[in-house]
Structure 1
């Protein structure tokens, strides 16, 4: 796969841990087992833009007070939504 950073064809899919600040800025959480990529050429670990948008949307749509300090990606995405959609994204 082509790396989004160095553009070499040495990126591969991984499962990783990421840290995210909640939309209200009250705290950060650890999200484990998140899909991502690592490049064997430049060493960069990253998430695709769509996944970043999906996480940010989910954090806007759920009650973040119920989110644990550490949560798996699947658990986060399975949390029930209190809003239908992110009305700030056009």
Structure 2
């Protein structure tokens, strides 16, 4: 059973929210709408899982971020064509 990463409550739900992300090159931040998140109904925090954070960061690292608008939906971000097939600098995999 999943629990809140902050208070360990089981009273959580999976939902979506809007996040703001700085691009890897530091040139700007973008708004990513409808991003998967966990909402805790005990401590009232809303957060992205480590998996979601990794997906966003890897995608931003592998696409041409100069083509991105200031606002994008999460699914649209994941559909952007990649310049590389995978992150060859991530040695954790």
Q: Deviation string for 1:39-87 (max 9, x for gaps)?
A: 0000111011011001000000000000110000000000000011112
Query: What's the counterpart of residue 58 of structure 1?
Result: 59
Q: 2:74 — aligned with what?
A: 73
Q: Could you tell me how far apart the structure 1 residues matched to 2:12 and 2:90 are?
A: 29
SS at match of 1:29: strand
Matched, 1:11 2:19: no
Match of 2:46 in 1: 45
Question: 1:15 Cα deviation (Å)?
Answer: 1.0
Unaligned runs of 5+ in 2: none
Q: Give unpaired runs (5+ residues) of structure 1.
A: none
Over 2 Å off, 4+ runs: none
Which secondary structure state, in structure 1, belongs to the residue aligned with residue 66 of structure 2?
helix
Give the alignment's TM-score, normalised by structure 2.
Answer: 0.93
Q: CA RMSD in A?
A: 0.7
What is the number of equivalent residue pairs in this alignment?
90
TM-score (norm 1): 0.96
1:6-65 CA-partner distances (Å, limit 9, x unpaired): 001111111100000000000000000011011000011101101100100000000000
